[in-house]
Amino acid sequence: MRFLGINAIFHDPAAALVVDGRVVAAAEEERFSRRKHGKRPLPFSAWELPEQAAAWCLREAGIGPEDVDAVAYSYDPALVEQRPDGDWEDLRTRYAVRAPLFLSTALPGLDAARVRFVPHHIAHAASAGLASPWRDCAVLVCDGRGENVSHLAGRYTGGELEVLAAQPLPHSLGLMYEDVTEHLGFLRSCDEYKVMALASYGRPRFLEELRELVYATGDGGFHVTPIEWGGYAKALRKGEQWTDDHADLAASVQARLEEVLLDLARWLHERTGERRLALAGGVALNCVANTRLLAEGPFDEVWVQPAAGDSGTALGGALHLAQVHGEPAAPMSTAALGRGFTDEELGAWLDVARVPYTRPADLAAAVADELAADRLVAWFQGRSEYGPRALGHRSLLAHPGHAANTERLNDVKGREQFRPIAPMVLEDRAPAVFGRGPVPSPYMLFVHDVLPGWRERVPAVVHVDGTARVQTVSPAADPLMARVLAEFEARTGLPVVVNTSLNTAGRPMVDDPRDALECFGSSPVEVLALGPYLIRRGEVFAS
């Protein structure tokens, strides 16, 4: 059977297609529309659908809208508490109620009666528990909000979900983190990862006060008192310079988030006795908290959905319907679920653009030469990633042995200088360089300690606190990138390569060849590896 999942209600609109229990395609709308996060999470935008992503998913499977057995819309308006007339939030609910009609208009041939509303946190839970490597596991979902809750704790047994706890609004760890994101001058529901990065520069000196305001309630839920952030640090406007007070506030909120998540995990473990935990929801993108959950929490293994934010509910909704219809989900083995292009298609793009290029006999060796010479390489290979992390398909690569490359890459991308860049490493070489975090770690959703002796050797990927957000690479999963890493180590003695997303500030990750060429042409990147082809900046501008 064929199940199409749709996320549209808040932000990161996305679509995913599950056929016979297997994920065939999944993509965020931003990769097609080129609008970061697809849209802002306002009631006024709730009608906007991932039309291009959904149409592409169907094309990828060679089917039409009329061939879909059911559509999962990852929000159930029937669960929303009634609000007074005139409340703008009511507009969101009204749009959601009409989503079946909107979808049948956006996808001609789709029967509106085939649309099913899947509760938001059920979709999140399914995106973790059903896509994980395990049939039986505990599952913890934590985000800003759904219809009427902000959290779900439960367990999957044989693919069936048992909900054990859910936290009613207005209490929300995700919204608390969004609030402090906005107070620190960043864009809420977008820039929360910047707060996580800034936290490493501060001391959690407000932690004791936050413990009085934010705490687990002992029944699987938590309490969040409204917080006056100005009492800790003045509000920042976009672009203003942060101070120690701002870094200390970020560190305090980050530390309290970690503590409450640990309390929730311990309660869940006591209730279930499970050894394994699957995480989803926007809070699960906090890789610092994930590592602490694994290192100090009661679970032996933790798996995080690579599209843990709202975009992942498109996948979760589709998997949930498949399970309901008796089609167990196949474990999610890759995040490379987006668009891909043949060598012939890529060559045609280059010919149309009239860009000089070569086709090296050994692409991995050629790219390793460029990296060893300290050139920046834009890397466009295979299918694009589902989720917010560049995982070696739409990446910007660099030499990790030069500390200046951190500032260099942040300048190229137009990012704040306090933000770290991440390392890629072969799975079997990771334990020699990194500690504490899990191995394998293919989705860059945990931080690892950089071991003594290596911090000076790979300074570009070491954050101020001595950690790195590692992606491990398996030769079986990505043989080309594995060869690049091996060839680079043969030349430099370093088993690590810098990997950051191929985009510039405020723009979604590159997705198709036009995006790659535009990014290459507008940023000081020396080399573009587009499929099997190499384009060098000097040759382009000399022609």
Q: What are residue 203's phi and psi, to 5 degrees? A: -115, 140
HSE of 228 in the Cβ direction (CA atoms, 13 Å)?
A: 2
AA identity, residue 166: A
28 CB neighbour count, 10 Å cutoff: 32
Q: How far apart are CA 281 and CA 261, in angstroms?
A: 13
CA quadruple 412, 414, 417, 423: dihedral sign: negative
Q: What are residue 120's phi and psi, to 5 degrees? A: -55, -50
Q: What are residue 441's phi and psi, to 5 degrees? A: -140, 75
AA identity, residue 244: D
Q: Which is the catalytic residue, given 11, 120, 151, 393?
A: 11
* Active-site residue flag, 151: no
What kind and span of H or E run contains 202? none
Please report where in the chains the tokens 């849209």 appear, as a residue: 39
How buried is residue 218: exposed, middle or buried, by Cβ count under 10 Å (0-12/13-18/19+)? exposed
Residue 199, SS3 per DSSP: helix
CA quadruple 122, 125, 127, 132: dihedral sign: negative
Query: Which residues contact residue 251 at a Cβ distance below 8 angstroms, ignoring those fewer than 6 apart?
Result: 199, 200, 201, 202, 203, 204, 205
The closest of 101, 91, 97 to 77, measured between CA atoms, is 97
Beta bridge partners of 379: 395, 529
How buried is residue 82: exposed, middle or buried, by Cβ count under 10 Å (0-12/13-18/19+)? exposed
Residue 209, SS3 per DSSP: helix
Residue 519 CA, chain-centre distance (Å), reads 21
Residue 536 CA, chain-centre distance (Å), reads 30
Within the chain, how many helices (H) and strands (E) appear? 18, 22
CA-to-CA dists, residue 455 to 176, 205, 208, 298, angstroms: 34, 27, 32, 30
Output the DSSP codes for 278-337: EEESGGGG-HHHHHHHHHHSS-SEEEE-TT-STTHHHHHHHHHHHHHTT-PPPP---SB-
How buried is residue 92: exposed, middle or buried, by Cβ count under 10 Å (0-12/13-18/19+)? buried
Active site residues: 11
